[in-house]
Structure formats: structure tokens, C-alpha cells
Amino acid sequence: MKLLHGDCREILKSLPDASVDSIVTDPPYELGFMGKSWDSTGVAYDMKMWQECLRVLKPGGHLLAFGGSRTYHRLACAIEDAGFDVRDQIMWVYGSGFPKSHNISKAIDKAAGAEREVIGQKLHARKGVASAEERTTIGAGAFGEARMGDITTPATDGAKQWDGWGTALKPAHEPIVMARKPLDGTVANNVLTHGTGGINVDDCRVDFVSDEDRNESTTKNQHQDFGTKPMTNNNVYGDYSMMQPANYDPTGRFPANFIHDGSEEVTELLGNAARFFYCAKASKAERNAGLDGFENKSAGEVTNRKEGSAGLQNPRAGAGRTTGNKNFHPTVKPIALMRYLVRLVTPPNGLVLDPFAGSGSTLVAATIEKFDCIGIEMTDEYLPIIEARVAHAKTDTLF
């Protein structure tokens, strides 16, 4: 792992042409997140920055970049305008998002100077708690403390009229743009010449959940492209009796452009269909793994905070935002998710680049998957966290 400190717009210029095999990154969503200056610079929309990414990628090399649901369109346009071919959009779906909606009724009463009557209390659960049973318990957890809040009733007529109204939805997904540098000739030529251009389908297949699931899936999805003998009819979608399997023995389902976190909310929504998609479940311990001896710090304490910002009320405010974490980066992605993405688009012995390293999740994932990696990070407070997490990834099996 090579870690470079500074603004990626400048550091990228120092990297050689066609020198990296893939780019997997979580750039700023440009929401002014928690008042961080790095999340409101416009860098994610900077076509010139993405042109530098294009330059350092080998022909056919893939780029995976996370975006926010409100701002993804501008990210994708900048990447496409830089010269990339947009290949797909991967949807990362999770159940742990918390709504940061503005209570209009309370705002009306506050503007009127009216005091609301407290009629009860409710528990504001800590982020990371999955079950309803856990949400009834107040106490310390890996992601902070639960706390009690007042339940109030509207005081003014205007507040009563707009009671129950807010300003934002609960965040439950983040889109990932999947793009590719234009090929050098055909796909076959590009792969043989540069080692890039394809995605690693077999190593990213979705595991069958049981032998019964496997038998059902392989029976329904047999066809000539997957090793069956020629059929005497073309009724692929109906009568399977004429199909004689040859060597069709897939290790799992074909990778989809939908990934979920296996949370209670998501699995209840998808039901039995959850097994069709890769599940990137995060452990509560992985965030701080390798950071023994580091001081707890909340995300709100980190530098680069803009004066007068939304701070902890920002829609991306995350784990440990008030009580602190050793890894105090506010938007840490699950290691399982990043391992899957890195593996999907990086050839064997490839080099992965992350221009927005953050707390190093992409670099940790690349290290575990036995890829070389380069990370660029401008916030100096995150550098020791990155180094410690990557060092831990080389020696521990937690991930």
C-alpha cells in the first residue's frame, strides 16, 4: 500500500499514464457533510480530475465511484464528460440510514415563540442497532449511546395544521457509477494486451443459500451459453424437459447491479428474493479494528469544519457522531462491500487506486484481496487511521 497525502487533483498529475488497473473510490457527495470543507469543494463534479483518473487507468480499466442520491447525476455526468464509458449503476441498499428531516410543525412553533407541551418520551436509538429488541435497551454500543427525547404536541394553529410534515426521506441507498476507460480495440485484444477490460464474474457470483436453492436455480437457468447440449426446441422460458445439462456447474448466481447489507429492514422488504443478491454485511467491530491505543473522537471534532454548517444534522451524519470512535471518519463503508467491489473490477495482481481514501476502507479491502493499492487523502488526521487499519488487515482475520 502506498499512501499519498494531499489534494488528489494535484497528486494524480504525478502518477504515470496507464499505470493502474482499477479505481474504486467514495468521493465527496458535495452535500457540505457535517460542515466538512472537503464535502463542498465541487471536486466530485470536476471533469478535469476525472480526466486525470482516466489518464492513469489502463485502457479498459474500470472505475467504481459512490454517489449521493441527490447529487449522483452530476457525478456521473462529470465522469462521462471526462471520457469514460458509463457501463452501469450499482445500487448499494441498506437499512441503517436515519432520516434527518426537519420537523415543520416544530419549526412553526419555534418561529412563533410558542412553547410545546411535553406529553412523553421516545428512545433515539444508536446507529448500528439492528433489532427492535436491541432498540429498547439504552446503553453504550460500538456506535455510541442511545438517548431519550421529548414527545411534544403542537402549540399554534399553524403547527397543528402541519403536524407530521417534514422535509426529507430516510436514506436507504447509495448509487455507484460503474464506468470503463475506452478499450484498445476489441475486448479480447484489450484483455490480452493490457489485462483489463472485463469484470470478474465467477469470483463475484452470489452464493447459493442451500442445495435446494442451487438445484432450483440451475434447473431454471440452463441454456446453451452455460454448457447445455443443443435443444430440439427454443422454448427456453417454458418447457425445460428437452434440455440436457452438460457441464453447467456454476458456483453461484451471476453478479447483479444490486447489493444489500442483510439488515432486518432490507431482508424483510426483499423476502425470499434477498438470496438473489450479494449481501455485504458489516460487523460492529470492523470500524475500529487495528486502532487499539487510538483516542476516541467524534466526527464533529475533526478539522475542516465550515463555520455555520449543518454539522451533525447533515443527512450523511453517521456512527459515533456524538460519542466518538477511534475511527472517527463519518462515512465508513463496510469492508465486505469494498472487498466485493475491488474484486469485481481488478485483474489478478492488479493495482487499485483510491483518490479519496478517507479512513482507508478501499485500501483495507485491496490488501485483504491481495492487490497492490495507492491511496490519496488530503486530511492528515485520517492518515494514521489508514496506516493502522491496513497493517491490521495484513495480520488479522477479523475482516
State whether 218 and 193 are in the same domain: no
For the chain, give the percent of residues with pLDDT over 90.
55
**pLDDT recorded at residue 122:** 81
Indicate if the pLDDT at residue 139 is higher than 90: no
State whether 140 and 288 are in the same domain: no
C-alpha 222/C-alpha 248 separation (Å) is 7
C-alpha 87/C-alpha 32 separation (Å) is 28
Indicate if the pLDDT at residue 281 is higher than 80: yes
Q: Residue 303 burial (CB < 10 Å; 0-12/13-18/19+)?
A: exposed
Indicate if the pLDDT at residue 145 is higher than 60: no
Short-list 35, 27, 6, CA closest to 307: 35
State whether 76 and 174 are in the same domain: yes
**pLDDT bucket at 378, cuts 50 / 70 / 90:** very high
> Of 314 and 107, which is predicted with more confidence?
107
pTM for the whole structure: 0.80
State whether 25 and 142 are in the same domain: no
CB contact at 8 A, 315 and 168 = yes
Name the most confidently modeled range: 37-51, 100-114, 209-223: 100-114
- Residue found by looking up cell 457535517 in the block: 34
C-alpha 347/C-alpha 142 separation (Å) is 35
Collect all residues with Cβ–Cβ distance below 8 Å to 233 and sequence separation of at least 6. 239, 242
Residue-number span of the structural domain to which 223 is assigned: 211-250
State whether 175 and 143 are in the same domain: no
State whether 135 and 188 are in the same domain: no
> Of 43 and 142, which is predicted with more confidence?
43
**pLDDT recorded at residue 37:** 58
What CATH code is carried by the domain that includes residue 349?
3.40.50.150
**pLDDT recorded at residue 31:** 77
- For 226-245, the pLDDT digits (tens) are 444 444 444 444 444 445 45
Q: Spell out the SS3 assignment of 299-316.
A: HHHCCCECCCCCHHHCCC
Q: How confident is the model over 325-348, as a mean pLDDT?
A: 86
State whether 244 and 353 are in the same domain: no
**pLDDT bucket at 320, cuts 50 / 70 / 90:** very low
Q: How many domains does the chain have?
A: 3
